[in-house]
Structure 1
Amino acid sequence: MENWIRDLTTSGGLAVHIRPARAEDEAALSAFFENVTPVDMRFRFLSALKTVSHERLVSMTSVDHRQTENFLAFVPNRPEIIATAMLACSDDMAKGEVAMVMLPEYKNMGLAWELLAHIVRFAEAKGVKTIESIESRDHYSAIDMEREMGFTATSYPGDASLMLLQRQLAPA
């Protein structure tokens, strides 16, 4: 498997370092979520979550790196996490669900686009056939970006407040 650590520059000129999460990232990830806005917490977890529990942090930092991967983004040479993008795949690796969130000061710089593109490349390399995202219907920026990246949007079955965005992936 390819090494999934990347240094890149977004379309907005932001230099960013992306790497898979490790167990020792739990404290930094907790600090990150303390700085995420309440609206973005709702968009990320699809609930009115105020804090991220230890158990949830462990599930985001102690991943199996096969079915689940959580990528963290940093400004190079700084320890603070500025964004996270997680991919959780079905047992047969046919489908993967992505969820992302970033600090407010890093929005509108192309970071979300780069993180999602990184997740798509990773999923394709794993042989995932379909990638999907469940978005709050009022998370317009995420829905628009995902559509621009080739996702199709439909109403989420059984919940009119959500949208299901899906993209078929090319085989590795």
Structure 2
Amino acid sequence: MKTTLTTHTGFRFEVRRARPEDELLVAEFFTHVTSEDMRFRFLGAVKEVSHERLVAMTRSDDPHIHNFLAFSTDGMLIAVATLASDPADRRGEVAICIRQDRKHLGVGWEFLSYIARYAEEHGIETIESIESRENRAAIEVERDMGFTVATYPDDPTLVLVQRKLGAKLPG
């Protein structure tokens, strides 16, 4: 099932769950992501996304892992996201990556809003993300959406952003 979203800039895109047959499409997507965004997404130096990671992003028998793909209306894959919850489905960690040439259109805000609604509908109480302190753009979006930002335990280069669900998103 696809859901159509529209950003504050008027950019429209569709979101659906990832499927096993999307692996090559997701691999190709990552060739359009900056090295900095790859580092932010995987929290380390990654030149190429491994087959194992691609499998993890497109197939999941685990009911606590939810992978999403976002497509522009012309069918181009423009963003990927994962929501991974704890075994009790109370807390979910989200990770989003956007294609370089589709940034600054509001995709990140709308995609994260969609995932927050999805998480809440599935009973998840808190969503969070581990971010590099250097990823100021993502942290700013998350702050604007009501996330709190705290130092990540044992790693001063990272921050933990969290948002309790159930409250209306700003904007």
Q: TM-score, normalised by structure 2?
A: 0.94
* Aligned position for 1:159: 155
Q: Hey, what's the Cα distance between the residues in 2 that align with 1:105 and 1:36?
A: 8
**Separation in 2, partners of 1:109, 1:102:** 10
2:81 corresponding residue in structure 1: 85
- 1:145 maps to 2:141: yes
* Residue aligning to 1:8: 5
Q: Which residue of 2 aligns with 1:47?
A: 44
Instruction: For 1:83 and 1:49, locate their aligned partners in 2 and report how far apart those are by CA, in whole Å.
Output: 17
Alpha carbons 1:73, 1:84 under 8 Å: kept? yes
Spell out, residue by residue over 1:58-113, the C-alpha distance to the aligned partner (whole angstroms, 9 max, x if none).
011002373111110111242x3110111000011011000001111111110000
- Counterpart of 2:15? 18
Residue of structure 1 in register with 2:73 after alignment: 76
> Does the residue aligned with 1:120 lie in a helix, a strand or coil?
helix
1:136·1:162 contact (CA, 8 Å) conserved in 2? yes
Letter paired with 2:10? G
Aligned counterparts of 1:36 and 1:22: Cα–Cα separation in 2: 21
Instruction: Write the distance in 2 (CA, Å) between the matches of 1:39 and 1:161.
Output: 15
- The percentage of counterpart residues that share the same residue type is 49
Secondary structure at the aligned position of 1:82 is classed as strand
Q: May I ask how many residue pairs the two structures share in their alignment?
A: 167
Runs of 4+ in 1 over 2 A off after TM superposition: none
Give 1:138's aligned amino acid: E
1:101 aligns with 2:78: no
Structure 2 residue aligned with 1:35: 32
Letter aligned with residue 162 of structure 1: L
Shift of 1:159: 0.2
Letter of the aligned partner of 1:53 in structure 2?
S
Distance 1:102 1:58 in 2: 19
Q: Where do 5+ consecutive residues of structure 1 fail to align?
A: none
C-alpha separation between the residues in 2 aligned to 1:148 and 1:76?
27
What CA RMSD, in Å, does the superposition of the two structures yield over aligned residues? 1.3
- Which of 56, 59, 66 aligns to 1:59? It is 56
List alignment gaps of at least 5 residues for structure 2.
none
State the alpha-carbon separation in 1 of the partners of residues 110 and 20 from structure 2: 24
Q: Secondary structure at the match of 2:101?
A: helix
